[in-house]
Amino acid sequence: MTDICVLRDITARYGDVTVIDRLNLAIPEGAFVTLLGPSGCGKSTTLRMIGGFETPAAGQVLLAGKDVTHVAPNHRDTNLVFQDYALFPHMTVAENIAFGLKRKGAPRDVIRQRVDELMQLVRLPDMAQRLPAMLSGGQRQRVALARALARDPALLLLDEPLGALDAKLREEMQHELKSLQRATGKAFVFVTHDQEEALTMSDVVVVMNKGRIEQQGAPVELYRDPQSRFVASFIGKSNFFEGRLQEASAGIGRVEVAGGTLSARLGSAPLKAGDAVVVAVRPEKVALATERPQGNAIEARLQSLSYKGAKSTALFADAFGRRIEMDFNPEERRIEAGDSSVWLGWQDADGIVLAA
Amino acid sequence: MNTQPARIALLAFPAFWILLLHLGPMLAMLRISFLESFPPLPGSAEVATLANYTAFFANDVYIVPMLRTLVFSFSATLLLLVLTYPLAFFLAKGVRAERKLTYLMILFAPFWVGEIIRIFSITVTFGNRGAVNWVLLNLGILERPLRMLYGYFSLSTGIIHLSALYMLMPIYAAIEKIPDNLLEAGRDLGAGPVSRFFDIILPLSREGVATGCALVFLANVGTYSVPALLGGPGTSMFSETIGTFFHTAGSQWPVGSAFSVLLLTASLTIAALMMLVIQRRKGRAR
Amino acid sequence: MTRSFAWVGSWLLQAYYMLFVAFLVLPIFVMILMSFKNSEFLGFPIKGLTLDWYGAALADPAILGAVATTAFVAAVSTLIALVVGTWAAVALERLQGLAKAVAFVILCIPLAAPGIISAISLRIFAFDIGLELGVPAIIMAHTVHAVPFVSLMVLARLSHLPKSQTEAAKDLGASPITAFCLITLPFLKPSLIGASLFGLLLSMDDFNRSFFLGGFEPTLPILVFERMSTGISPQINAIASIVLLVTLSMGFVGERTLRRIGARK
């Protein structure tokens, strides 16, 4: 698979503030790539540099092998679905979708045919003559998609396009976007701060933080093998136990923490004995016992219970002030509120040792 | 993304325009106010002098109208503030939203009529044989016509008719912007209507009051038609003084320009002071 | 609306509002009444009505000439001010910090300068650039006066245009100029209509600049001023009433248009 878009050592500054610091990224052809990160991490800026709305202070943007770093958006073969959709309020749905084709100087009948085709694709029948103000949020979203796809761009960029929709519609659109991406075979670059959204749709998730890429990979990889404390906490939830690495052997590290030692898989970052580390454990991997279990064990007291349907969460605190979350299925087991101390444990392979 | 040449092309024309036509006339005026004669006598170079300025201080004929202009304009500004503030408040917070536009339109409509016509209509209405006197005489309230024109009464009436809008609009906009929930919070915390007005509305409309006062004061100082048509011999204003220097060609212009510079300086200073005083409490770090 | 001031809103301020409107309207009303009075003598009481003064006014070549001059000056100066003011507003929107503040102050000079000073400085300027007094000089002065108003009205609306709108147009292949014409201009339409209306009124009503930069072709306000200075005649009532009718209908038509556009959105 070749890369449709490559960012090389991109740096972006606003005034004196560096928002992107020598970032390198490759977007494979036909892939659904998500830039994920908290607000202010530089994900939108990165997207806008691919689209041509910002010029990097240093570095190169390559599109289909050509350097487009200084090419204006109207001469770039990318199209953007804006966060607020940016539909033109004085134009009908059909005029909005046709806008980009008219700029290309396409003949009238070609435009009409293409507009019809796109309206079919995004499932908006009979809406051609409506003004954007007359559409629902979900419909506007689809018009924005159709409009951006109309010019048949090499790369479609989406800037948090689902943010304005309510939860149910959002989930629907996630599936629709994914199937649209498969149907068109285009590479999509999608920006979001919602990790669930990222995991649902993407082939590749790029986790960004403070203007740098923390980790990139398939959703499963990121969830199972986070390589930093940031990723472990940003994608899914994790319990963290801070300590010092005693020894590392055969992919398993022994970590001295307050109140004992824990064993866990070593992350991919090189660590040596004596390093300050954290052990990250997913809440759903934590098991509850009344007796001290073999291996990893933390003695704690129940703080609170919250019922969330299929998955509920119990929050514990131990003698060292650490808070430990445990997810469980309330249909399968019952946890009684009480003041007596209990034991929490997990398999060695379910924890991961990361640099602190 | 704006490329650099495109940006320069976009900015160059308006920059050129405002420098030439907005700043240019002011600088031209400033320049000739220091000239001994304008245009310079044939064959001689321009001679710089301060005589045009010193001429002002040498003669009561100039100083008195200047002081009269500043004092009258200032008083008229305060009068307008007192008269229009309740109106602005009523329109912003006392009228139901769907009726607001109608109320505003009715109030604005007279302001679409030009200044000369409105001044003329005032002379017709308040003259010795005008409508007001006629009504008062017929009601037996007056025995002889009351002389209302060509004095401070007609001047003030003219000013109110012409400038009320400039006071009303900024204050209205400022009060309008005050969220209703602030008033509701005030009420919730036990503030009565009086306290809500003095503790919430008034302080938060400060900005609008300052803008309104400055605008109206500058407009009052600069009006030529009002004193010319509604004033009398005892109420001549400095704008008329300045005007007399420009009824003839060039020769008197330097003095007129110098006087204009003096009036502009004095009025801008007073307008700035008014704004400073009105906004004095605005969040300055200690 | 808030109910916090319902008691005041209900009658006290309402009454004051009506009184104030009456005060503003009274002279205009009296003037219109007088224009129908069938006597040379300009005063009360009114014993009979006539349309003669209107006939005389409409037959007076000086008045008809002034109407033409006024309309021409207003149309040309408003048109130029519309282009320049919009351009200046768009440019100002791009500036930041100190440059923006300085540009804004210079832009607003003709708006804030006291009338007499604005007028005489423009007269001196016209002399400096060799512009004869008369219609072109008045057009220049009215244009300069109208530009800041246009810019302020355009700026007010421009600040509500989401940046994404023009970005989307460019993303879809529009050059910056095409994006401006197809997206920004239609968005600005209501404020452009409002600004042209305001510009027309500003020019038609202007006294200071027309007076000090005028030549031998007076605009209507100047004609009225001259006739008032030489002695009040009932004919002025008629002219003034015609002007009033024109300005008021322009105002109302403009208002209706703006409201219609507003309703469509």
DSSP assignment of C223-235 equals HHHHHHHT---HH
B97 has pLDDT over 60:
yes
- Mean of pLDDT values over B49-60: 90
**By C-alpha distance, which of A273, A279, A275 is closest to A260?**
A279
Length of chain C (residues): 265
Q: Which of chain C's residues have a Cβ under 8 Å away from the Cβ of B15?
A: 91, 103
What CATH number does residue C61 fall under? 1.10.3720.10
List, as ranges, residues 53-72 from C with C-beta within 8 Å of B.
none
Question: CA B17, CA C89: separation in Å to the nearest integer?
Answer: 12
A232 neighbors A354 (Cβ within 8 angstroms): yes
Q: Closest Cα of chain C to A276: distance in Å?
A: 46
| pTM reported for the whole predicted model | 0.84
C233 has pLDDT over 80:
no
pLDDT of the residue at C265: 46
Confidence of residue B281 (pLDDT cuts 50, 70, 90): low
Note whether residue C37 is domain-resident.
Answer: no
pLDDT of the residue at C50: 82
Q: Looking at chain A, which residue has its C-alpha nearest residue C175? A: A74
- Mean of pLDDT values over C164-174: 94
Q: Which of chain A's residues have a Cβ under 8 Å away from the Cβ of C174?
A: 74, 99, 103
A142-164: b (≥16 Cβ within 10 Å) or e: bbbbbbbbbbebbbbbbbbbbee
Question: CA A145, CA A274: separation in Å to the nearest integer?
Answer: 52
Note whether residue C17 is domain-resident.
Answer: no
Q: Which of chain B's residues have a Cβ under 8 Å away from the Cβ of A49?
A: none
Q: Are C124 and B257 a contacting pair at CB < 8 A?
A: yes
3-state secondary structure of C265: coil
Whether chain C has a CB inside 8 Å of the CB on B229: the answer is: yes
B181 has pLDDT over 80:
yes
**Phi and psi, residue A127, nearest 5°:** -105, 0
Question: CA C237, CA C232: separation in Å to the nearest integer?
Answer: 9
- The token pair at A258 is 């307050």
Note whether residue C63 is domain-resident.
Answer: yes
A240 has pLDDT over 60:
yes
Q: Looking at chain A, which residue has its C-alpha nearest residue C185? A: A90
A337 has pLDDT over 80:
no
Q: Are B125 and C120 a contacting pair at CB < 8 A?
A: no
Note whether residue C18 is domain-resident.
Answer: no
Q: Are B23 and C120 a contacting pair at CB < 8 A?
A: no
pLDDT of the residue at C5: 54
- Mean of pLDDT values over B136-146: 85
A312 neighbors A302 (Cβ within 8 angstroms): no
Note whether residue C108 is domain-resident.
Answer: yes
**Phi and psi, residue A28, nearest 5°:** -70, 150
List, as ranges, residues 180-209 from C with C-beta within 8 Å of A.
182-183, 186-187
Whether chain A has a CB inside 8 Å of the CB on C168: the answer is: yes
- Pick B43-285's CATH classification: 1.20.1260.10, 3.40.50.300, 2.60.40.10, 1.10.3720.10: 1.10.3720.10
Note whether residue C40 is domain-resident.
Answer: no
Confidence of residue A92 (pLDDT cuts 50, 70, 90): very high
Q: Are B242 and C116 a contacting pair at CB < 8 A?
A: yes
Q: How do the domains of chain B map onto residue ranges?
A: 43-285
Element (H, E) at A257: strand A252-257
pLDDT of the residue at C230: 80
List, as ranges, residues 50-79 from B with C-beta within 8 Å of C.
none
Q: Are B264 and C125 a contacting pair at CB < 8 A?
A: no
pLDDT of the residue at A203: 95
Count up the domains in chain C and report the number: 1
| B40 secondary structure, DSSP code | P
Contacts across the A-C interface (CB distance below 8 Å): 64
Q: Which of chain B's residues have a Cβ under 8 Å away from the Cβ of C9?
A: 90, 93-95
A69 neighbors A59 (Cβ within 8 angstroms): yes
- In the sheet with A296-306, reading across from the earlier edge strand, the strands are A287-289, A342-346, A296-306, A312-318, A323-328
C6 has pLDDT over 70:
no
Note whether residue C127 is domain-resident.
Answer: yes
Q: Which chains share 3+ C-beta pairs under 8 angstroms with A? A: B, C
Q: Are A52 and B1 a contacting pair at CB < 8 A?
A: yes
Q: Are strands A187-192 and A32-36 parallel, antiparallel or unpaired?
A: parallel
Note whether residue C25 is domain-resident.
Answer: no
pLDDT of the residue at B250: 62
C3 has pLDDT over 80:
no
